[in-house]
Structure 1
Amino acid sequence: MSRRGGGRPPKGLPDRDTLLRFLRDAGEAEKADIARAFGLKGAERRALREMLRELEAEGALGKRGRRGFAETGAFPPVGVADVAERDADGDLFVRLTKGGEDLPLARLAPGDGEARGQVPGLGDRVLVRFEKIGDAYEAKLIKRLGQSAHRVLGVVRKTAREVRVDPVDRRSKERLVLQEPSARDLKDGDLVLAEVGPQTRRYGPHAGRLLEVVGREDQPRAASLIAIHAHGVPTGFSEGAETEAREARPPTLKGREDLRDIPLVTIDPPDARDHDDAVYAEPDEDPKNPGGWVVWVAIADVAAYVRDGSALDREAYVKGNSTYFPDRVEPMLPHALSSDLCSLRQGEERACMAVRMVFDKTGAKTGHRFVRGLMRSAAKLSYQQAQDAVDGRPDDASGMVLERVLQPLWAAYRVMLEGRNRRSPLAIETMERQIRLNDEGEVVSITPRQSLEAHRLIEEMMIQANVCAAETLEKRRTPLIYRVHDEPSQEKTFDLADFLATLGLPWAKGQPATTRRFNELLEKTRGGPHGDIVNEVVLRSQMQAVYSPDNVGHFGLNLQRYAHFTSPIRRYADLVVHRALIRALGLGSDGLSDKQASQLEAVAEHITMTERRSMAAERDATDRYVAAFLEDRVGAEFEGRITGVTRFGLFVRLEETGADGLIPVSQLGEEYFTHDDKAHALVGSRSGLRWRLGRQVTVRLVEATPITGGLLFEMLSEPEAADPNAPRPRLGVRDRDRRGPPKGRGKPPARGGGKPRRR
């Protein structure tokens, strides 16, 4: 902590003005720093904690990182930031890495760094000096952090005069010209990775240097290839990691509990590439628990093969998680483990970490215990197979385990459902798309992914197993990585209340935001004219879940403690939790090491980043596949819904495919439209006509660009009438923020959902 003001603060608990003045001088400080500066101990420290909470709730303080505080809206003099956005004029905007939601993006001063060859680009991390210019902050580049030069993934466009690289990122304007002689051997349409060079002329594109030819833009499977390179998803494995995986041996019963007589079954998507969880349930025979159930969840024992510090471990950590695309998977572990020894294949003996959970007749968990076991899966079923069997349509595979396994599983789930309903986790609805490809990699269909009771059964059993892991490690005082999901910020709940008021729906700002309150709102509006828009806005009011060694609970699931345990084949977080359980319960010598236990904060931050990286890559690949699928339907009309309202236009999601596309504000009419952020609407400055979030509309597809994943629509519906109670804008007033989307395409807002079980 560094102070810019002079003198030491007076000893004793400060009043609010003194505390704010101290933070203003210090820039930012943690509670411990504040307590030390004012000499606080015991009860005074507790009073300070309460004062900080009150000031944060009032909006006077903002969070900086997990423990720091600063005056709301205050930037430090110097800070580390990420280049987060590029606007239509090519200006870059940075986000303070430790910044809270009270901090806006800051404009990066143009031209900074070019003279020193440090050209920042989207995704770069930079050290900047913040200066207040009028009401906004500007960031001046000190240096770009890290040694790698900024890279551009693009498509080669050749002319008689030059070889140009056009970026595949629809938000980027970083066009390059390749000047080395070897560039003339490239073909038009080649996908290449190029390095940005210094600007050698005042106008026009930068010079670039060819690094790698990665494919062709007309390859059917180019979408995932582009996403992998564009987002820096690590690919493949070293020879050392592959060798360790090949040399792994099948498990034995030594040091394990024999679970082979328990008919555990795996229930997964039909195209699942690995099977890391199996389930079984039976009535509890304990006379003290009438109507109760015993539920087993067995998880692949990845820690037995991926040892801390090994080549496998190092590369699993770098990847952080598997990344899934419609046509391929980039796994966290080599095939010899992920699809073989660590996959709970039917009829084969496999090492597992299992938890035996006991529930009473009301669905309350009364106890659990973990074992390291040896199991043999009794059946490999898809969700649809299991659901059909329970619904009276068994096939040969599901019929063999219907009475002994599936019917008890469903009976146990219905009891567990009572407990879930009492807990009232957040009931937001999301739509996922299922993309089907033919053997040539071409999209043949895009359909909404089915939501079956079988999905919810597996999800609830996995959630309960994850809770057990967190409870056990807390009880044993063993360090762990939690999956945390903070409650919505006051700013977001106030924005939600303001929006609901435009629909005539009450939402008291002073009451705490709870999942039950959100669910009552969702249930009240579901199926009505505002159901979809309320669902969308409630989703956007939520925080993102992250990994952390500090527990703040999981708001969305309404759980006090939660840790990822059930997918160690594809998530490094789960592998760390497995190692922690082995250490806490004395289940072997391959548990969590002291070194890794001391590094959990850094591990949690890293795997949160890798998860976001994979989600962005998966979403971008999906967008490109969808654009390729719709390319032949340019000119067709579609029904859709407005899912994003920005100053530069409307985003519309098609009902048929779930595809997102942009209608630029310039296409909505002759008059000027202003962005009403409280009402989530674009409003005509003269007429007052409105385009609101959630509105069902008819659109025409104007353009589909597979290489960027961009879709452009034309609006065919009429706008809503003006709100008679809304103030009329003054004629001639222009919003200074009015700018079009980045040249090429707009980027749709992030959607909820993603891969299953990303809670």
Structure 2
Amino acid sequence: MPRGPAKNAPPLDRQRVLDALAADPGATKRDLAKTLGIKGSDRIILKRILKQLEGEGLLKGSRKRGYVRPGTIPEIAVLEIIGQDPDGELLARPSRWDSNEEPPQIIVVTEDAIGQGERVLARLTPVGETFEAKVIKRLGASAHKVLGVVRISGSLARIAPIDRKSKSEFNVDNRDLFGAENNELVVCEPLAGRSSGFPRARVVERIGSMDAPKAVSLIAIHAHGIPTEFPKEVLDEANAAGPATAAGRTDLRNTPLLTIDPDDARDHDDAVWAAPDTDPANKGGFVAIVAIADVAHYVTPGNALDREAYKRGNSVYFPDRVVPMLPEKLSADLCSLKEGVDRPCMAVRMVFDANGRKRRHEFLRGMMRSAARLTYAQAQRAFDGKPDADMSETVRKALHDVWGAYLVLLKERAGRDPLELDLPERQIKIGADGKIASIAFKERLESMKLIEEFMVLANVAAAETLEKARTPLIYRVHDQPSKEKLFGFSDYLRTIGVSFAKGQVMKPAVFNRILANSKGGPHELVMNDVVLRTQAQAIYDDTNVGHFGLNLAKYAHFTSPIRRYADLVVHRALIRGLKLGDGGLTDKEVVRLSETAEHISMTERRAMAAERDSTDRYVAAFMEDRVGASFDARVTGVTRFGLFVRLADTGAEGLLPARVLGQEYFRHDERRHALIGDRTGTSYALGDKLRVKLAEAAPLTGGLRFDLAEESEAPPPRRRAPVVRPRSKRRR
């Protein structure tokens, strides 16, 4: 609205100021002066009126930022994207909203892909009772936000943060609750100032009740920003997809390929088959096929499904739910290798000699029909000579041959000597009430190792084929341990009497030898943790540095395209390099491979952190009614403020603060991974067994705190390492 002085203007009063602001929300003091034709001493009157209106709550703002009536929206405003409506339109709310009433509905008009939580500067136009916003500028992520739970007591409302690092709760005015109720999970935005000694905040998003069965995983999902809802256009593409035809594909439907997965698997993206090689020149050798769901047939470069899969990077697995990379129509149906159903696949046929060495391999695009959907336990019973009574002879024969091929492949694996870590995995089972029914360690079956070995060999074949075809790809790389980590590892080994030459050529066999020597001894369990911490983190990269842990020169992820975007990229690269039809890697994707590798490495780390946080909270909830009980534990980490301990029966981990160890000061010896008492020399070190008592369990943050149990005996004093103290300097 153009601003200018009004001719023959009436005397300045409160109503004239309010009317001017109603016509021009967001006007500054200077704007108002021009609009109202104010000059000279009347500017002092305007200032006084604005201050009075602010004090009465009739205006909000400042002379520079501009003034608005509470509950009104200026023509140009900062908006925060809060989600989508059923038609896929972006919805927003004003970044600043000072009214107790709900803000009006705002629909954002833009062709850009803008995510929830992002802020935009937009021009608003009223359309009936709603507003249409046209984006002027994207402002990026919104200000710092906190995930927490609403606690209402009488007329007071607070938000308890779920992050265990947060030191304080937040006070919330009733008008800033955004309708949130007691025990509701919310996202809040800290505000300036304090109230009753606590920092202030306002609710910006309501997530759901903490009493809901899946509230724990919901916390992890929102805390780590994991997308959960598929946009309408993505679902439309998935629902429009139909079964693939066999035209132009190699027919594998008469080959009894088997899917072997966990008993709770919802999707099946890999199948295996093997048989003795009939070639007289390869006596004792085997032919094996690994068939993988042809996701590239449905998720093509640049379509809505592809953009969403890239954004998610991978599926995320919680004890009570899965956040899939692809919609269920694809992940659990059209792409899943269901028993007895025709499914498109990408497959590799490999030939091995009697010593497990690969002689040759070839990739093909085929049509398969799974002969059986088996669990690891079912396959293991068959391998042990106790197949299920209802198992067909065809499936029994296929399992017999797969096992025979595996025994041959183990010979080559033994020569390769990859890193052999023994890290027990916890299995959390959720009851119908959404709470933990049990926590136990998963049984490590040979059938699991069999499938892993077949998948590793297929991944190696993919990397080798693409390098030979000179087709760009994304590798799965695992670099050698850094010198700093090796020095720390050497220092720890020296404290337990194990020699380790720092300058030696590092290979997985070096770590395997140390692990083997520790078996049966007091350091067996913790040694696996220490070796794991010494390793570099595996990532995706378009530049190959090999895979240290597997002791392989070339490695790429090919076997799980339903749940990993990296595998889909490798499928597309194979289609491009071997000219296997439509859906191959595009030139545009090739240019972005480095960026894609960095992005999916990030989404993988995000998923791992969310899964770990969810498990910690479930375990804390499970342990809550066991506060005061005593447990056998082992020290798994040492810091200056205490010990991290792991319980023997459940694998639950928590903190044993240094202050509860004894009536003396405990010094942190980083080299020995120990806390050492300055007076008595009593030492608590990595790997020590302790008897601890659960002092506190906090399901909201996932934290457990322990005390030493009364029946626990303190470790004996150990010889102190010499302490070098700097000379004191004379103060000038």
Class of the TM-score when normalised by the shorter of the 2 chains = 0.7 to 0.9
How far did residue 638 of structure 1 move? 1.1
Mapped to 2, the partners of 1:711 and 1:306 lie a distance apart of: 43
| AA at the equivalent of 2:330 | L
Q: Secondary structure of 1:200's match?
A: strand
Mapped to 1, the partners of 2:474 and 2:457 lie a distance apart of: 17
| AA at the equivalent of 1:354 | A
The one of 495, 504, 517 equivalent to 1:524 is 517
Q: Secondary structure of 2:280's match?
A: coil
Cα shift readout 1:262-302 (whole Å, capped 9, x = no counterpart): 00000000000100000000011111111100110000000
Mapped to 2, the partners of 1:472 and 1:174 lie a distance apart of: 56
Partner of 1:247: 240
| AA at the equivalent of 1:722 | P
Partner of 1:389: 382
Partner of 2:584: 591
Q: Secondary structure of 1:297's match?
A: strand
Q: Secondary structure of 2:264's match?
A: coil
Partner of 1:719: 714
In the alignment, is the contact (CA less than 8 A) between 1:386 and 1:398 conserved in 2? no
In the alignment, is the contact (CA less than 8 A) between 1:389 and 1:399 conserved in 2? no
Cα shift readout 1:579-607 (whole Å, capped 9, x = no counterpart): 00000000012100000110011100000
701-710 or 715-724, larger mean C-alpha shift: 715-724
Partner of 2:166: 172
Partner of 2:88: none
538-547 or 164-173, larger mean C-alpha shift: 164-173
The one of 336, 341, 361 equivalent to 1:343 is 336
Partner of 2:157: 163
| AA at the equivalent of 2:396 | E
How far did residue 526 of structure 1 move? 1.4
Q: Secondary structure of 1:350's match?
A: strand
Partner of 2:621: 628
In the alignment, is the contact (CA less than 8 A) between 2:269 and 2:335 conserved in 1? yes
In the alignment, is the contact (CA less than 8 A) between 1:433 and 1:448 conserved in 2? yes
In the alignment, is the contact (CA less than 8 A) between 1:351 and 1:375 conserved in 2? yes
Pairing of 1:643-682 with structure 2 (within 5 A): 643-682=636-675
Identity of aligned residues (%): 57
Partner of 1:328: 321
| AA at the equivalent of 2:157 | V
Q: Secondary structure of 1:288's match?
A: helix
In the alignment, is the contact (CA less than 8 A) between 1:322 and 1:570 conserved in 2? yes
How far did residue 455 of structure 1 move? 0.4
Structure 1 442/725 Cα, relative in aligned 2: closer, same or farther at 3 Å?
closer
Partner of 2:99: none
How far did residue 204 of structure 1 move? 4.6
Pair 1:193-2:187 in alignment = yes
In the alignment, is the contact (CA less than 8 A) between 1:298 and 1:354 conserved in 2? yes
Cα shift readout 1:108-129 (whole Å, capped 9, x = no counterpart): xxxxxxxxxxxxxxxx99xxxx
Q: Secondary structure of 2:364's match?
A: strand
Mapped to 2, the partners of 1:550 and 1:691 lie a distance apart of: 43
Mapped to 1, the partners of 2:426 and 2:211 lie a distance apart of: 23
464-473 or 207-216, larger mean C-alpha shift: 207-216
Pairing of 1:375-386 with structure 2 (within 5 A): 375-386=368-379
Higher relative contact order (CA 8 A, sep 6+): 1
Pair 1:358-2:351 in alignment = yes
Mapped to 2, the partners of 1:403 and 1:226 lie a distance apart of: 45
Q: TM-score, normalised by structure 1?
A: 0.75
The one of 546, 564, 568 equivalent to 2:561 is 568
Q: Secondary structure of 2:411's match?
A: helix
Mapped to 1, the partners of 2:403 and 2:167 lie a distance apart of: 54
How far did residue 184 of structure 1 move? 8.1
Q: Secondary structure of 1:413's match?
A: helix
In the alignment, is the contact (CA less than 8 A) between 1:379 and 1:401 conserved in 2? no
Mapped to 1, the partners of 2:654 and 2:623 lie a distance apart of: 11
Partner of 1:368: 361
Mapped to 2, the partners of 1:574 and 1:398 lie a distance apart of: 32
How far did residue 226 of structure 1 move? 0.5
Mapped to 2, the partners of 1:730 and 1:494 lie a distance apart of: 22
Mapped to 2, the partners of 1:677 and 1:642 lie a distance apart of: 14
Mapped to 1, the partners of 2:302 and 2:606 lie a distance apart of: 24
Partner of 1:39: none
Partner of 1:746: none
In the alignment, is the contact (CA less than 8 A) between 2:638 and 2:644 conserved in 1? yes
| AA at the equivalent of 2:679 | R
Cα shift readout 1:46-89 (whole Å, capped 9, x = no counterpart): xxxxxxxxxxxxxxxxxxxxxxxxxxxxxxxxxxxxxxxxxxxx
In the alignment, is the contact (CA less than 8 A) between 1:155 and 1:165 conserved in 2? yes
In the alignment, is the contact (CA less than 8 A) between 2:176 and 2:202 conserved in 1? no
How far did residue 196 of structure 1 move? 2.8
The one of 422, 427, 430 equivalent to 2:423 is 430
How far did residue 373 of structure 1 move? 0.2
297-306 or 504-513, larger mean C-alpha shift: 504-513
In the alignment, is the contact (CA less than 8 A) between 1:554 and 1:561 conserved in 2? yes
Partner of 2:259: 266
How far did residue 629 of structure 1 move? 1.2
Cα shift readout 1:456-494 (whole Å, capped 9, x = no counterpart): 000000000000000000011111000000000011111
Pair 1:684-2:689 in alignment = no
Q: Secondary structure of 2:636's match?
A: strand
Partner of 1:24: none
Structure number, greater radius of gyration: 2
Structure 1 350/633 Cα, relative in aligned 2: closer, same or farther at 3 Å?
same
Give the CA RMSD over aligned residues. 2.1
Partner of 2:474: 481
Mapped to 2, the partners of 1:205 and 1:478 lie a distance apart of: 59
Cα shift readout 1:128-185 (whole Å, capped 9, x = no counterpart): xxxxxxxxxxxxxxxx994322221101122446422111111223633323515285
| AA at the equivalent of 2:662 | G
Partner of 2:127: none
Mapped to 2, the partners of 1:375 and 1:397 lie a distance apart of: 23
Q: Secondary structure of 2:719's match?
A: coil
Pair 1:509-2:508 in alignment = no
Pair 1:149-2:147 in alignment = no
Partner of 1:140: none
The one of 402, 414, 435 equivalent to 1:421 is 414
Partner of 1:464: 457
How far did residue 532 of structure 1 move? 1.9
Q: How many residues align?
A: 590
How far did residue 727 of structure 1 move? 2.9
| AA at the equivalent of 2:337 | L
Q: Secondary structure of 1:351's match?
A: strand
| AA at the equivalent of 1:479 | P
Pairing of 1:106-255 with structure 2 (within 5 A): 146-160=140-154, 162-173=156-167, 175-179=169-173, 181=175, 183=177, 185-197=179-191, 199-201=192-194, 204-255=197-248
How far did residue 730 of structure 1 move? 8.2
Q: Secondary structure of 2:281's match?
A: coil
Structure 1 397/489 Cα, relative in aligned 2: closer, same or farther at 3 Å?
farther
Pair 1:542-2:524 in alignment = no
Q: Secondary structure of 1:208's match?
A: strand
In the alignment, is the contact (CA less than 8 A) between 1:191 and 1:213 conserved in 2? yes
In the alignment, is the contact (CA less than 8 A) between 1:251 and 1:351 conserved in 2? yes
Structure 1 397/609 Cα, relative in aligned 2: closer, same or farther at 3 Å?
farther
| AA at the equivalent of 1:150 | H
In the alignment, is the contact (CA less than 8 A) between 2:387 and 2:396 conserved in 1? no
Cα shift readout 1:504-533 (whole Å, capped 9, x = no counterpart): 100011112211111111111111122222
Mapped to 1, the partners of 2:504 and 2:140 lie a distance apart of: 45
In the alignment, is the contact (CA less than 8 A) between 1:640 and 1:698 conserved in 2? yes
Structure 1 188/369 Cα, relative in aligned 2: closer, same or farther at 3 Å?
same
Mapped to 1, the partners of 2:408 and 2:264 lie a distance apart of: 30
How far did residue 308 of structure 1 move? 0.7
